[in-house]
Chains A and B, each alone.
Chain A
Amino acid sequence: MSKELIVVLLVAPLVGFLINGLFGKWLKGSEKLSGWIGTLVVLVSLVCSIIVFASLHGGAAPFDETLYEWITGEGFAFNIGFHVDALTAVMLLVITGVGFLIHVYSIGYMHGDEGYTRYFAYLNLFVFAMLILVLGNNYLMMFVGWEGVGLCSYLLIGFWYDKQSATDAGKKAFIVNRIGDFGFLLGMFTLFAAFGTLDFGTMFDAAEADNFQKVFGASTLVIATLLLFVGAIGKSAQIPLYVWLPDAMEGPTPVSALIHAATMVTAGVYMIARSAVLYEIAHTGQVVAWIGVLTAFFAATIALTQNDIKRILAYSTVSQLGYMFVGVGVGAYASGVFHLVTHAFFKGLMFLTAGSVMHAMANELDMRKMGGLKSKMPITHLTFLVGALAIAGFPFLSGFWSKDEILHSAWGSNPLIYGIGLVTAFLTAFYMFRLIFVTFYGESRVEPEVASHLHESPPVMWVPLAILAIPSALIGLLLGWGGHESWFHEFTKNVFPEAHHDASGNVLVFMAISSVVGLAGIAFAWRRYSKRAPSDEPTGTFHGLLANKYYVDEVYNALIVQPVKNGSHFLLWKLVDNGVIDGIVNGVAALIRFIGGLLRRLQTGLVQAYIISMVLGIVLFLAYYLFFT
C-alpha cells in the first residue's frame, strides 16, 4: 500500500469532476462520454480500494502518512494526511463499490437529462469529498470531507433547480445540516483546545494515557464527544434533526441511493466509530444509543403510513441509521459498521429499484397508483424483494446478521433498548412488505396511459440492480457468520477498542427471536395488504398522527422557524439593521455632509483661488524661514 495508490484513489474522482465540470459544455454533445468518464474514474478508485483492502487483509500495517503541511502557525499545524486501516478500507469499498454501481445505473437513469454532465460532475465531487472524509487522518480533514459531502448533497437535492420543492428541500437539508456542523465544529475546537492537535493517532494515544484524565478531566471529553455527536445527528438524520432526509428525496433517485442511503448519511456512524476511543473514555455511548433507538422506532412508525415509495425508504433509512447508532452507542462498533455495510448494499439496492419503478411509471411515486407490477417488471420485483427481505431480517440474509448483532449487543447494554429495537424490527418488516405487496402484487391500479408503456428497465439499469442484489443477500452470511467471532470482527478488531461488556445470553436464541419477529411483520403485512390498497384517508387519530409524521415539521416551523423569522424581521432587520446600523451609517454620512457643507465654500471651482492659498502658504513659510529661524 503506497502513498501513490492512495493519492490515485482519492484524486481520480476529482479528475472526473474537473473534466465534467470544466469541459461539460463540450461534452454535452455526447452525454454517454461524460457519463462513462464519471463512471470510469470511480472504477479506478474502486480498483484502488480493492487493492488497499487486499493488502490490509493480507496483513499489511495500517497506513498513516502526512502528505504535506496545510496550515502551520504558532503552536499548531494541520496536515493533509491519510489514515488507512480496516475501518477505512471497509468504508472505501462501500463508497467506491456502491458508488461505482450507482454511477453505472445513473448513465441509464439520467439519460436525456438537461444537466447530465453537471450531474456526473457533482456525483464525482461527492465521491471525492466522501473519500476525503474517510481517508483523513485528522478531524480537520474529516471536516473538509464532511462539508464537501454536505455541499454535494445540497447541490444534488436541488439538482432540478427549476422545481421549487427541490430547491426548498436542498436548502432545508443544508440549513439543518448546518446546525449539526456547528456542533461538529465546536466539538473540534474543544478537542483542539484539550489536545493541541486534531490528529487521530496523537489524540487517541494522549486520551488513553493515564495522565489525561488528571489534566483535563473527563468532562472535556464528554462535552467534545457530545458536540461531535450533534454533528452526527445532523449528518445522519437522527432525532431531532432528521427532518431534512425525507425531503431530500426530491433529488434524483440514484442520489438518494448513494448519498442519502449508502454513504453520506452514514458519515456520522463512521465518525463515532473512528472516535471510539474518545467515546469509550467519555462514556457517552449511552446517549448515542438512546438517540439511535428512539430515532429507529420513531421513523419506523412514520414509515408505516406513508404512501410515497421513496419517503418510506427514506424513513426506513433514518430508522436503520438509528440501529447503527445503537450499535456504536453500546460499544459494538464493529457491529454498527457492519450494519452500515449491509445497509449500504440493501438500501442502495432498494432505492435503485424504486428508481427503476419510477422510471417505468413516468416518475410516479405514489404506490396507491401502482400494484401488480410484478409481472411487468420481474427483475425489479425480484431485486426489491431481496432488499426487503434483507432489511426485514429474513434469516440468513444480510440484514439478519447485522441487525441481530446490534440487538444482541444492546441486550448486553440495556434490555430496554433491546426491547424497543425488537419492536422496531417488527415494524420494519411490516412497512417494507406493505410496500412490496401494494406495489408489486394485487390488482393493477396503474393509470391506463402509463400502463401502456410500462416496461422493464434497460440493462444499464437492471444489471447494477442484479449485481447489488447479490451482496445484499449474501454479504451478511459471508462476513457475519459466527457472530462476534465472524470474519468482519476479526478484520476490524485492531481498529476498535475491545468491547468492555460481554454479550450475555445465547446467540442462537436472539437469532431465533429476531427471525420470528421479522417473519411476523411480513406475515402481518401480507394479511393486511396483499389484497387491497391502503386507504386514501387516515383512519383514526393515531393513524392521522403518523401520516402527518407526528407534525414534527409543523412543530419545528412554529417553534423554531417562525420565531427566528420574526426575530430576524422585527429585531434584526427593523431594529438593529434599520435602526442602529443604518442610523450609524446615515448619521456618519450626515455628519460628513454637514462638515462638507462647510468646507464646500472653500471649493470655489476657481483655480486661482486655490493657487492663491498656495502662494500665501509659500509666502508665509518663506517669511517664517527667513526671519524667524
Chain B
Amino acid sequence: MNPEQILFILFGAVALIGAIAVISFRHPIYSALSLIVTFFAQAGLFVLLGAHFVAAAQVIVYAGAIMVLFLFVIMLLNLGTLSVKGMMSGKLKGLAIILGILFAAEGIYIAVNALNDTAVASAEPTTAAVTTTTYDIGELLFSKYLLPFEVTSLILLAALIGVIVLVKREGQEEN
C-alpha cells in the first residue's frame, strides 16, 4: 500500500462514517458536526486528487459558511420549543433503506462497469499526481465558462434578495 491508498482509505472511511452519522444522530447539532467531518474528509480526498483549490473552497464554503449557517439556524430554532424527532415511522423507513441499497448497488455497478466504454475510461490514465492550480481553474472560469460564471452571480443575487424578503419581519421599517 502506498501512502495515497492509505490516505484514501482513511479519508474515505471518515467521510462515510461521518455521512452515516449525519443521518443517525438524533440531534441536528451532532448531525451538523458529523457533516463537517465528512466535508473535511472530502477536502482531504480533493487534495489527494490534486484539486487544491477545490479542497480549500470546500472548507471555506461548506465548513466555513454553509455549516455555520446550519448551526446558526439550529441554535436559533432551539431557543423555541423544538421537539426533536428522529426517524420516520417503520414502513417508510424500511422501504427507504431497501431503495437506498438498490440505488447504491446501481451506483457501484455504474462506477465499476458502465464507464468502461466512455471517454472517461479511454482517457490516458494519469499516474503522476497532477495538481490543478487555481490559475488553471481561473483561466477556464473566465474564458470558456464565463457566461455560467456570470450566471452564478445572478443566482447568488437572487438568493440574497429572496432571503431578505423571506426573513424580513412584517411591516418592519428599513433602518
A residues sitting closer than 8 Å to B (CB atoms) are 606, 608-609, 612, 615-616, 618-619, 622-623, 626
Contacts and interface: CB of A to CB of B under 8 A. Distances in A.
B88 interface: yes
Contacts of B110: 622, 626
Contact of B106 (A608, A609, A616, A619): A619
B103 A609 contact: no
B106 A623 contact: yes
A623 B109 CA distance: 10
B92 A626 contact: no
Contacts of B96: 608, 612, 615
A615 B99 contact: yes
A107 to B, nearest CB: 54
B99 A612 contact: yes
A582 B96 CA distance: 47
Contacts of B102: 619, 623
10 contacts: A606-B92, A608-B96, A612-B92, A615-B96, A615-B103, A619-B99, A619-B103, A623-B102, A626-B109, A626-B114
A614 to B, nearest CB: 10
Contacts of B100: 615
Nearest to A623: B106
Contact of B95 (A606, A612, A622, A623): A612
Contacts of B109: 626
Nearest to A622: B106
A626 B108 CA distance: 12
A608 B92 contact: yes
A606 B99 CA distance: 17
A609 B95 CA distance: 10
A606 B96 CA distance: 14
Contacts of A616: 99
Return the 9 tightest CB-CB contacts between A and B, nearest first.
A622-B106, A619-B102, A615-B99, A619-B103, A619-B99, A608-B88, A608-B92, A616-B99, A612-B95
Given A626-B109, A626-B114, 12 more contacts: A608-B88, A608-B92, A608-B96, A609-B92, A612-B92, A612-B99, A615-B103, A618-B103, A619-B103, A619-B106, A622-B110, A626-B110
Nearest to B102: A619
A608 B91 CA distance: 12
Contacts of A615: 96, 99-100, 103
Interface of B: 88, 92, 95-96, 99-100, 102-103, 106, 109-110, 114
A626 B95 contact: no
Nearest to B107: A622
Nearest to A611: B96
A541 to B, nearest CB: 79
A623 B102 CA distance: 9
A400 B25 CA distance: 111
A612 B88 CA distance: 12
A49 B164 CA distance: 66
A203 B114 CA distance: 78
B93 to A, nearest CB: 9
Contacts of A623: 102, 106
Contacts of A619: 99, 102-103, 106
A626 B102 CA distance: 13
B108 to A, nearest CB: 11
Nearest to B114: A626
A615 B100 CA distance: 8
B88 to A, nearest CB: 6
A616 B88 CA distance: 18
A626 B103 CA distance: 12
A618 B102 CA distance: 10
Given A608-B92, A609-B92, A626 B106 contact: yes
User: A608, A616, A622, A626 — which one has the most chain B CB atoms within 10 A of its CB?
Assistant: A622
A604 to B, nearest CB: 10
Contacts of A606: 92
Contacts of A618: 103
B96 to A, nearest CB: 6
A626 B112 CA distance: 12
A615 B103 CA distance: 8
A623 B107 CA distance: 10
Contacts of A609: 92
A226 B96 CA distance: 81
A125 B46 CA distance: 79
Contacts of A608: 88, 92, 96
A608 B88 CA distance: 9
A612 B103 CA distance: 12
A608 B100 CA distance: 13
A615 B107 CA distance: 13
B105 to A, nearest CB: 9
A619 B99 CA distance: 8
User: B100, B102, B109 — which one has the most chain A CB atoms within 10 A of its CB?
Assistant: B102
Nearest to A616: B99
B30 to A, nearest CB: 21
A247 B103 CA distance: 84
A618 B110 CA distance: 14
Nearest to A620: B102
Contacts of A626: 106, 109-110, 114
B110 to A, nearest CB: 7
Contacts of B99: 612, 615-616, 619
B102 to A, nearest CB: 5
A563 to B, nearest CB: 59
A612 to B, nearest CB: 6
A591 B99 CA distance: 36
A612 B99 CA distance: 8
Contacts of B88: 608
B104 to A, nearest CB: 10
Nearest to B101: A619
A180 B105 CA distance: 81
B128 to A, nearest CB: 33
A619 B104 CA distance: 9
Nearest to A618: B103
A615 B95 CA distance: 11
A612 B100 CA distance: 10
Contacts of A622: 103, 106, 110
A622 B100 CA distance: 13
A615 B97 CA distance: 11
A619 B114 CA distance: 15
A603 to B, nearest CB: 16
Nearest to A615: B99
B83 to A, nearest CB: 17
A334 B110 CA distance: 97
User: A608, A619, A623, A626 — which one has the most chain B CB atoms within 10 A of its CB?
Assistant: A619
A618 B104 CA distance: 12
A623 to B, nearest CB: 7
A608 B95 CA distance: 11
A622 B103 CA distance: 9
A622 B88 CA distance: 26
Contacts of A612: 92, 95-96, 99
A619 B110 CA distance: 12
A143 B139 CA distance: 70
Nearest to B92: A608
User: B96, B106, B109, B110 — which one has the most chain A CB atoms within 10 A of its CB?
Assistant: B106
